[in-house]
Amino acid sequence: MSPPRARFSDAEIRMYGLLNRAVRDLVVANFGESTWDKIRARAGLAESRFQAMEQYPDSVTYELVGALCEETGMTADQALEAFGEYWIQYTGAEGYEHLLEASGDTLPEFLNNLNDLHTRVALIFTHLSPPSFLVSDETEQSLVLHYFSHREGLGPVMVGLLRGLGARFNVDVVVEREVMQRTDDNRVHETFRVAWNGA
């Protein structure tokens, strides 16, 4: 799969720098500072660091991911999944652990609270354009998570996030990415069948 840069050029939606900071951290931890410098040069970024509370056009993030793929040889899916998995520990370490804790003690409880979590996040990041979620088909050890977003192409991030949550709750998680469709107001609607066992 080719890097996502060409598909994503919606400069109107803006993303908080916290996400770009996490991309930087992930790159530096795995590939070192010099690879980060090459990636940001390739993405055309003059500054090495992002401000967590500042908003940047989504295209900056997509450019970064595209440059990361070109520089490291990762596919877009691999990079986005790795980012999603990392996001759970990153937000915990960056001062938002209380928000994660307030969202539930088990994986299914947590997944049922994802909208509330982002509502709380929006009290801090007041211009947030958050995704929204719905749970269906719930059984003892599985459910279907519906993900709605104004943004394109972030389904693989959800796969990584769900794996990261599996690790957080110490359960083995199997994630199947199912269908991608559009809502009437043209948002992305993706479904993920999530099954778990263990704790």
Q: Which is nearer to ligand HEM, 19 or 45 (CB)?
A: 19
> Is 23 near ligand HEM (CB under 6 A)?
no
Q: If 0-12 CB within 10 Å is exposed, 13-18 middle and 19+ buried, where does residue 96 land?
A: middle
Query: Tokens 């003892």, residue?
Result: 140
Q: What's the number of CA atoms in the CB half-sphere (13 Å) around residue 121?
A: 23
- What is the Cα–Cα distance from 38 to 58, expressed in whole angstroms? 20
* Nearest to ligand HEM of 31, 152 (CB atom): 152
Pairing of strands 188-198, 171-182: antiparallel
Contact 173, 166 (CB under 8 A): yes
Among 114, 159, 175, 194, binds ligand HEM (CB under 6 A): 114
Among the listed residues 59, 61, 91, 112, the single contact to ligand HEM using CB under 6 A = 91
Nearer of residues 31 and 96 to ligand HEM, judged by Cβ: 96
| Residue span 121-160 as binding mask against ligand HEM, x where in contact by CB under 6 A, dash where not | x---x--xxxx-----------------xxx--x--xx--
Q: How far apart are CA 97 and CA 89, in angstroms?
A: 9
Is position 116 an interface residue for ligand HEM (rule: CB under 6 A)? Answer: no
Q: What's the full length of the chain, in residues? A: 199
Ramachandran region of residue 52, left (φ > 0), alpha (ψ -120 to 50) or beta? alpha
Stretch in the footprint of ligand HEM (CB under 6 A) among 23-31, 64-72, 118-126, 172-180: 118-126
Binding mask 36-75 for ligand HEM (x = CB under 6 A): ----------------------------------------
Taking the complex as a whole, how short is the minimal distance between the CB of residue 38 and ligand HEM, in angstroms? 25
Question: Residue holding tokens 């049922």?
Answer: 112
By CB under 6 A, is residue 96 in contact with ligand HEM?
yes
- Cβ atoms of residues 143 and 64 within 8 Å: no
- Beta carbon of residue 46, minimum distance to ligand HEM (angstroms, whole number): 21
> How far is 152 from 59, CA to CA, in rounded Å?
11
Contact set with ligand HEM (CB under 6 A): 15-16, 18-19, 91, 96, 99-100, 114, 117-118, 121, 125, 128-131, 149-151, 154, 157-158, 161, 165
